[in-house]
């Protein structure tokens, strides 16, 4: 079962569809796989943010981004990434990491569904000289990423909290 999200006109669209990046100072990139339960968390947060602040920032829902994440970040001054995390903490735990300060912990962001992990993509962008000046990475601890499973209640409970934190980050970056 694929996570389906209503588009701006109320119709359904697959969560993997994304808009081409425009020249926006702030770019939010939600990562995940809409068919794998909690792994859809980045996509769901991005969709919510598009509804709330999509007229002021660039929001991309990137399913299976991997190395393409480098290209998606290119040209932004600020990149805010949202992805599923697995560090062993309780499902629903929210991590906020500064990806521009240096390497982030690769084990938190496994490679399984994106070919290379979020941490690897950030290091590649850094090596290529295309990493945005500010990179904020949100990782939400997941419980279940099996194909066809729904979002767990632990992850569903923190979606709005992540959205709120990212809205605050965007406001701080505009100041």
CA angle 10-154-70, nearest 5°?
65
The per-residue pLDDT for 108 is 63
Most confident of 18-32, 49-63, 100-114: 49-63
Model confidence pLDDT, tens digit, residues 94-123: 999 999 887 776 556 655 444 678 888 999
What's the pTM value of the predicted model, to 2 decimals?
Answer: 0.82
Query: In this structure, are residues 88 and 151 in contact, taking their beta carbons and an 8 Å threshold?
Result: no
Residue 63 CB partners (closer than 8 Å, separation 6+) = 15, 16, 18, 31, 32, 33, 34, 43
Strands 26-32 and 78-85: parallel
pLDDT band at 66 (very low <50, low <70, confident <90, very high): confident
Strand positions, DSSP E, the chain? 4-6, 12-14, 26-32, 58-63, 78-85, 94-98, 134-141
The per-residue pLDDT for 105 is 66
Quickly tell me which residue has 């990782």 as its tokens.
139
The per-residue pLDDT for 59 is 97
Question: Average pLDDT, stretch 144-161?
Answer: 94
Q: Taking 60 as the threshold, does the pLDDT of residue 132 lie above it?
A: yes
Domains detected in the chain: 31-174 (3.40.50.1450)
Q: How far is CA 31 from CA 4, 9, 40, 68, 175, in A?
A: 15, 23, 7, 11, 26
Query: In this structure, are residues 86 and 108 in contact, taking their beta carbons and an 8 Å threshold?
Result: yes
């Amino acid at each position: 079962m694929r996570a389906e999200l209503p588009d701006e006109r109320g119709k359904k669209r697959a969560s993997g569809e994304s808009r081409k990046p425009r020249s926006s100072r702030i770019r939010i990139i939600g990562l995940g796989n809409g068919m794998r339960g909690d792994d859809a968390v980045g996509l769901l947060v991005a969709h919510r943010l598009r509804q709330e602040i999509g007229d002021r920032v660039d929001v991309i829902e990137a399913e299976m981004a991997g190395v393409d994440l480098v290209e998606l970040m290119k040209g932004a001054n600020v990149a805010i990434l949202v992805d599923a995390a697995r560090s062993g903490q309780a499902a629903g735990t929210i991590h906020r990491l500064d990806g521009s300060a240096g390497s982030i912990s690769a084990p938190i962001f496994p490679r399984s569904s994106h070919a290379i992990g979020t941490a690897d993509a950030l290091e590649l962008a850094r090596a290529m000289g295309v990493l945005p000046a500010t990179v904020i990475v949100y990782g939400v601890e997941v419980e279940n990423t099996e194909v066809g499973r729904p979002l767990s209640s632990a992850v569903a409970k923190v979606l709005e909290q992540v959205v709120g934190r990212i809205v605050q980050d965007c406001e701080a970056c505009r100041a």
